[in-house]
């Protein structure tokens, strides 16, 4: 089995050269093993875009599922909708991280946590409310809320959409002023 690297040009635009079906380019052509190796390599490359790694610069623990932002020094800390310079949430922590530990943040895709974990993050009971958008909290740094911030000095950032009580589709949109 071959190991292929993704075949993307520097422009980042798909170049249509892989998988290569030169012998049969019809829609019903069966891909070869090399095609599947190429597809797997490209999916793995895309997965790297779902996560960010940085050092915990919070000065304390970062709780699993809490929303973090990137500080100017490249470290991460808890995002806060009403904090100056701490507003733009980058992703949710994948685990509990001690101060100065390497943190992995999930930035997109579906995040699955227990109902108890979502209760801690969102201040709810029974997990997420299916079909509801969740926002960066203006009350507690790192937490999420189903109620959009309404104070004029706060920032409105949609974080995700609840697919079920345990699954959130992350949709970290850019920040917007409330007023």
Rounded CA-CA distance 167/139 in Å is 23
What pLDDT is stored for residue 3 in this prediction?
45
pLDDT at 95 over 50: yes
The predicted-structure confidence for 41-83, as pLDDT tens digits, reads as follows 776 666 666 888 999 999 999 999 999 999 989 999 999 887 6
What is the reported pLDDT for 49? 63
Query: How confident is the model over 125-163, as pLDDT tens digits?
Result: 999 999 999 999 888 999 999 998 877 777 788 999 999
d(CA 44, CA 17): 18
Q: pTM score > 0.85 for this model?
A: no
Given this model, what pLDDT does residue 25 score?
54
CA distances from 25 to 16, 31, 152, 163 (A): 12, 10, 57, 38
Query: How does pLDDT run across 98-112, given as a tens digit for each residue?
Result: 999 999 999 998 999
Q: How far is CA 103 from CA 44, 54, 154, 163, in A?
A: 20, 5, 26, 25
Architecture of domain 50-177 in this structure: Beta Barrel (2.40)
Q: Domain extents for the chain? A: 50-177
The answer to whether 81 touches 149, Cβ cutoff 8 Å, is: yes
167 three-state secondary structure:
strand
**Do 154 and 178 form a contact (C-beta atoms < 8 A)?**
yes
Identify the pLDDT of residue 34: 63
């Amino acid at each position: 089995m071959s190991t292929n690297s993704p075949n993307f040009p520097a422009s980042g635009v798909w170049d249509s050269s892989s998988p290569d079906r030169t012998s049969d380019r019809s829609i019903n052509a069966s891909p070869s093993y090399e095609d599947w190796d190429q597809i797997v390599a490209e999916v793995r490359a895309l997965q790297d875009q779902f996560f960010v790694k940085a050092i915990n610069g919070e000065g304390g623990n970062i709780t699993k599922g809490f929303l973090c932002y990137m500080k100017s020094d490249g470290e991460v800390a808890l995002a806060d909708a009403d904090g100056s310079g701490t507003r733009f949430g980058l992703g949710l922590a994948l685990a509990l991280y001690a101060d100065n530990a390497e943190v992995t943040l999930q930035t997109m895709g579906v995040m699955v946590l227990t109902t108890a974990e979502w209760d801690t993050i969102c201040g709810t009971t029974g997990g997420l409310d299916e079909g509801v958008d969740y926002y960066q909290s203006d009350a507690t740094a790192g937490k999420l809320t189903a109620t959009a911030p309404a104070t004029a000095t706060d920032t409105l950032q949609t974080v995700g959409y609840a697919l079920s009580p345990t699954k959130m589709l992350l949709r970290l949109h850019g920040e917007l002023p409330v007023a």
